[in-house]
């Protein structure tokens, strides 16, 4: 667990953005640690077929709702996945240096991190379902 003096604060989040030529949504985080003079950027990429769709199927099974509801559901879940990926990356020490960082999908070279993402998913499932019910009514 990182020490409290070295924890980061999220200053701003932008997204989701659809990356050209990639099946990903990306979010741009601006993070700040108390020891840094200025914030730095972290781009978090969420793979649509390998992360978002896999976890969405596990959470809801067959997706129901209108196209607009499905889009909002994808936005809620992809943002949640991006937040989890930030937690995993911080726990792995990937965000300790003062430099801009890009977090790729947790597949291929980063596949060893996917089980940590799944653990956060398992722990937060009830809260995510409730958020979707509250915001979408499904």
Percentage of the chain exceeding pLDDT 90: 68
3-state secondary structure at position 116: helix
What is residue 66's three-state secondary structure? coil
Residue for token pair 């940590």: 116
Query: CB–CB of 59/128 below 8 Å?
Result: yes
pLDDT (tens digit, 0 to 9) for every residue of the chain, 138 residues total?
445 556 889 999 999 999 899 999 999 999 998 888 889 999 999 999 999 999 999 988 876 778 888 889 999 999 999 999 999 999 999 998 878 789 999 999 999 999 999 999 999 999 998 998 898 887
Show the tokens assigned to 43: 């781009």
CA proximity to 87, closest of 58, 125, 117, 108: 117
**What is the structure's pLDDT at 101?**
87
What residue segments make up the domains of the chain, in order of their start?
A: 4-136
User: At how many degrees (to 10) do helices 114-136 and 67-91 cross?
Assistant: 140
What pLDDT score was predicted for residue 1? 46
Contact of 81 with 19, CB cutoff 8 Å = no
What pLDDT sits at residue 15? 94
**Rounded distance between C-alpha atoms, residue 61 and residue 95, angstroms:** 34
Check: CB of residue 76 under 8 Å from CB of residue 128: yes
């Amino acid at each position: 667990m990182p020490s409290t003096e070295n924890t980061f604060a999220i200053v701003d989040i932008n997204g989701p953005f659809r990356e050209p030529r990639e099946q990903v949504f990306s979010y741009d985080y601006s993070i700040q640690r108390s020891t840094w003079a200025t914030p730095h950027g972290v781009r978090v990429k969420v793979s649509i077929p390998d992360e978002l769709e896999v976890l969405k199927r596990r959470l809801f099974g067959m997706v129901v709702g209108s196209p607009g509801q499905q889009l909002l559901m994808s936005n809620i879940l992809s943002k949640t996945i991006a937040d989890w990926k930030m937690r995993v990356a911080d726990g792995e020490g990937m965000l300790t240096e003062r430099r801009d960082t890009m977090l790729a999908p947790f597949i291929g070279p980063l596949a060893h991190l996917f089980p940590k993402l799944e653990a956060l998913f398992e722990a937060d499932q009830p809260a995510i379902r409730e958020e979707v019910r509250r915001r979408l009514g499904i």
